Amino acid sequence: MAVGRSVPVAVAGFAAGGLVVAAALAGEFVASLTVSMGVAEWLLFRLRSRCLVALRRTGVAERLLARSWRVLARCLGGYAAALVALAGVESAVLPGAAAWDAPHLGVLLALGCTLWLALLLQSCERSWTAAAVLSAATATALPLLAARTGTPGTVIGLTGSCAAAVLLAAATAATARVTTHR
pLDDT in tens, 2-29: 777 789 999 999 999 999 999 999 999 9
3-state SS assignment for residue 24: helix
Query: Quick one: CA dihedral 105, 43, 6, 69, positive or negative?
Result: negative
Mean pLDDT, rounded, for 127-147? 96
Confidence of residue 144 (pLDDT cuts 50, 70, 90): very high
DSSP state letters, 36-74: THHHHHHHHHHHHHHHHHHHHHH-SHHHHHHHHHHHHHH
What is the predicted pLDDT for the residue at 65? Answer: 65
Give the pTM: 0.89
∠168-33-152 over CA atoms, to 5°?
Answer: 80
For residue 81, pLDDT over 80 is answered with yes
The CA-to-CA distance between both ends of the chain, in Å, stands at 21
For residue 181, pLDDT over 50 is answered with no
Helix (H) or strand (E) holding 91: helix 61-93
For residue 51, pLDDT over 90 is answered with no
* Cβ burial, residue 18 (10 Å; 0-12/13-18/19+): middle
∠136-140-145 over CA atoms, to 5°?
Answer: 145
Residue 97 is classified by DSSP as P
